[in-house]
């Protein structure tokens, strides 16, 4: 499909997700506890996708590659080595923001 309002149902049914390295796509997949391979778009300005992918990989949460190394990554990956992504803590962020803005 070219466009869909939500990928929630597909993500819930997936055994493995292969995605670009957009922050929203990565976080939505990881929050659902799905194994993730992020494919870097190296043509983007400043290659910010690589920075995010490397950080998530260092934490043990994803595998990453580019288009030319995707098949190799699929053949060599071990999904059992991936670590669950920790849940967000919006209440801590709200407290931090209150302090910064001066509400506390």
Q: What per-residue confidence (pLDDT) applies to 45?
A: 66
Mean pLDDT over the full length of the chain: 90
Q: Residues 6, 58, 67, 74: is their CA dihedral positive or negative? A: negative
Nearest to 43 by CA among 68, 26, 60, 73: 68
Q: Cα(25)–Cα(38) distance, rounded to whole angstroms? A: 9
Q: Cα(60)–Cα(31) distance, rounded to whole angstroms? A: 14
Q: What per-residue confidence (pLDDT) applies to 88?
A: 79
Of residues 90 and 80, more confidently modeled: 80
Residue 3 buriedness (CB in 10 A; 0-12 / 13-18 / 19+): exposed
**Which residues are 36's β-sheet partners?**
17
Q: Give tens-digit pLDDT for 19-78.
A: 998 888 999 999 999 999 999 987 776 777 888 999 999 999 999 999 999 999 999 999
Nearest to 20 by CA among 83, 43, 95, 59: 43
pLDDT at 104 over 70: no
pLDDT at 1 over 80: no
The fold adopted by the segment(s) 7-101 is Rossmann fold (3.40.50)
């Amino acid at each position: 499909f070219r466009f869909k309002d939500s990928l929630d149902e597909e993500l819930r049914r997936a055994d493995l997700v292969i995605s670009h390295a957009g922050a929203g796509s990565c976080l939505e997949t990881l929050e659902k506890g799905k194994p993730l391979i992020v494919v870097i778009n190296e043509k983007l300005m400043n290659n910010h996708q690589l920075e995010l992918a490397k950080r998530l990989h260092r934490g043990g949460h994803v595998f990453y590659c580019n288009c030319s190394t995707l098949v190799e990554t699929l053949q060599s990956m071990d999904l059992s080595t991936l670590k669950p992504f920790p849940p967000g803590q919006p209440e801590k962020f709200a407290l931090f923001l209150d302090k910064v803005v001066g509400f506390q």
